[in-house]
Amino acid sequence: MKVSHSEANVKNMAIVLKGIEKVYHSPRQVTCALKNVSLKIEEGESFGILGSKKSGKTTLLRCINLVETPTSGSLTVASTPITGQSSKNLDNIRRSLSYMMHPPLFMNTRTLYENIALPLEMTGKKPMFIRESLNSLLTALNLQDWANVYPYQASLFLKQRASFARALSTHPKILLCDDPTAGMDHKSLTLFLQMLQEMQERYKFTLIIATDELEVIKALCKRMGVLHHGQIAEQGTVANLLATPQSAVTKEFIKTAARGEMPANLRRRLKATPGENLYPILRLSFLGSSLQEPALTEVIRNFGLSINILQAHLETLVNQTLGVMVMEMRGEHEPVHQAIRLLEEKGLNIEVLGYVPATT
């Protein structure tokens, strides 16, 4: 038996934040956790909030989840203004929201099944209804054989799956996930992301996932915002932000997540500034499975340059393919700069990583 989405009596679950600020006051200091945050998250989409620890990710989710009240700015969910409303008037919205926190919290005196069922119990649902409602969910998340395990007996991955099941037990229209993959090994991460995608396809909820793991957002989201010191450094499609990052913090996330930018021996010889007999190491990124024109061949032919490709790979994002290439460009100073300008005109994003003596 499924819980009908119509129970919440809420439609068009778009989320709009305008100029959200959150300030915490204590006897010793005033902390501004969020500063002028503006976002629009469409109904049914997967939106990523990328930020390091203490960037304000959790505070932002708690504001959307109605646990925290913004100090200023406006928040609208399903065309309903949230800021300034009484708690009673927000009950329908609250029933449409679910929050998956990290680390997951459980009652150790209850089994995993009893913890998962708790939100339904709190809304007055009968045990038979709960069992029928949760049956397919437990099976989909491979929890049916672990239902009677207590939290202290469970592995981290098992508890994270149980936390996910509990968040989905009420069939929310909006699911907020706060670092849900933290601490997972590669195998567990792959399985969990697959489960998350399958559950969103099945239940059609809006997903907002906050994480410091760029790979998670790349696997799940079409759009993202980069949060830094409580402010949105930039936002847009994941593909565009990876191909043409504008902020230093986005570039740092990309650099940290990059797979083998260049050989280690070359990286050790990298110089920050150009000089005599030094050649640039470039990172090129572009959208699409291949360049529309043989741009590198044109560069070599027109400017008399030599190109040494160090790394190249394509990766498939949710709705786009991103190409990344790291290469050494040898030649005279001016032809090199002309070649870079030509490649940028052809739609490539180019970053100079540094300068090295010519490799043999």
Distance CA 78, CA 82 (A): 10
Is 260 contained in some domain? no
What pLDDT was estimated at residue 27?
86
What pLDDT was estimated at residue 131?
92
Distance, CA of 217 to chain centre? 3
In terms of phi and psi (left: phi > 0; alpha: psi -120 to 50; beta: otherwise), the region of 246 is alpha
Q: Are both 222 and 280 inside the same structural domain?
A: no
Q: Are both 155 and 206 inside the same structural domain?
A: yes
Look at residue 110 and tell me whether its pLDDT is greater than 50. yes
Q: Are both 87 and 154 inside the same structural domain?
A: yes
Q: Of the ranges 10-14, 41-45, 229-233, which one carries the lowest mean pLDDT score?
A: 10-14
315 phi and psi angles, rounded to 5 deg: -130, 140
Whole domain around residue 333: which residue ranges? Answer: 266-357
Residue 357 or 242, more confident: 242
354 phi and psi angles, rounded to 5 deg: 155, -165
Q: Are both 247 and 306 inside the same structural domain?
A: no
Last residue of a domain, one of 253, 286, 316: 253
Is 58 contained in some domain? yes
> What are the Cα distances from residue 302, in Å, to 115, 159, 309?
67, 59, 18
Neighbours of 36 (CB within 10 A): 14
What pLDDT was estimated at residue 333?
86
- Tokens 């290439």, residue located: 325
Q: Are both 189 and 130 inside the same structural domain?
A: yes
Q: Give me the mean pLDDT over the 259-285 stretch.
A: 78
Q: Are both 101 and 180 inside the same structural domain?
A: yes
The model carries a pTM of 0.85
Look at residue 166 and tell me whether its pLDDT is greater than 90. yes
Distance, CA of 181 to chain centre? 11
What pLDDT was estimated at residue 322?
87
Domain count, the chain: 2
Is 283 contained in some domain? yes
Q: Give me the mean pLDDT over the 192-217 stretch.
A: 95
288 phi and psi angles, rounded to 5 deg: 110, 160
Q: What is the mean pLDDT of the chain?
A: 88
What tokens were used for 307?
């190109």
Is 189 contained in some domain? yes
What pLDDT was estimated at residue 292?
52
Look at residue 257 and tell me whether its pLDDT is greater than 90. no
261 phi and psi angles, rounded to 5 deg: -55, -40
Distance, CA of 46 to chain centre? 9
| CATH number of the domain residue 175 falls in | 3.40.50.300
Pairing label, strands 278-287, 321-330: antiparallel
Highest mean pLDDT among 176-190, 285-299, 307-321, 325-339: 176-190
Last residue of a domain, one of 253, 279, 302: 253
Which are the contacts of 296, defined by CB distance < 8 A and separation ≥ 6?
307
> What are the Cα distances from residue 117, in Å, to 65, 75, 131, 153, 338?
20, 30, 8, 18, 64
Look at residue 286 and tell me whether its pLDDT is greater than 50. yes
What pLDDT was estimated at residue 271?
86
What pLDDT was estimated at residue 289?
60
Look at residue 43 and tell me whether its pLDDT is greater than 50. yes
Look at residue 3 and tell me whether its pLDDT is greater than 50. no
Amino acid in the structure at residue 115? N
Q: Are both 225 and 287 inside the same structural domain?
A: no
Of 124, 127, 106, nearest to 116 by C-alpha is: 106
Q: Are both 247 and 286 inside the same structural domain?
A: no
Q: Are both 175 and 324 inside the same structural domain?
A: no
Q: Are both 173 and 282 inside the same structural domain?
A: no
Q: Give me the mean pLDDT over the 154-164 stretch.
A: 94
Residue 55 in contact with residue 4, Cβ under 8 Å?
Answer: no
Q: Of the ranges 74-88, 106-120, 170-184, which one carries the lowest mean pLDDT score?
A: 74-88
Q: Are both 141 and 179 inside the same structural domain?
A: yes
Distance CA 347, CA 345 (A): 5
Distance CA 91, CA 303 (A): 66
Is 305 contained in some domain? yes
Residue 111 in contact with residue 148, Cβ under 8 Å?
Answer: yes
356: β partners: 279
Is 350 contained in some domain? yes
Neighbours of 69 (CB within 10 A): 12
Q: Are both 273 and 224 inside the same structural domain?
A: no
- Tokens 């499609």, residue located: 237
What pLDDT was estimated at residue 113?
96
Last residue of a domain, one of 253, 279, 308: 253
Q: Of the ranges 22-36, 294-308, 324-338, which one carries the lowest mean pLDDT score?
A: 294-308
Q: Give me the mean pLDDT over the 182-191 stretch.
A: 92
| Percent of the chain residues past pLDDT 90, beyond the cut | 55
| CATH number of the domain residue 329 falls in | 3.30.70.260
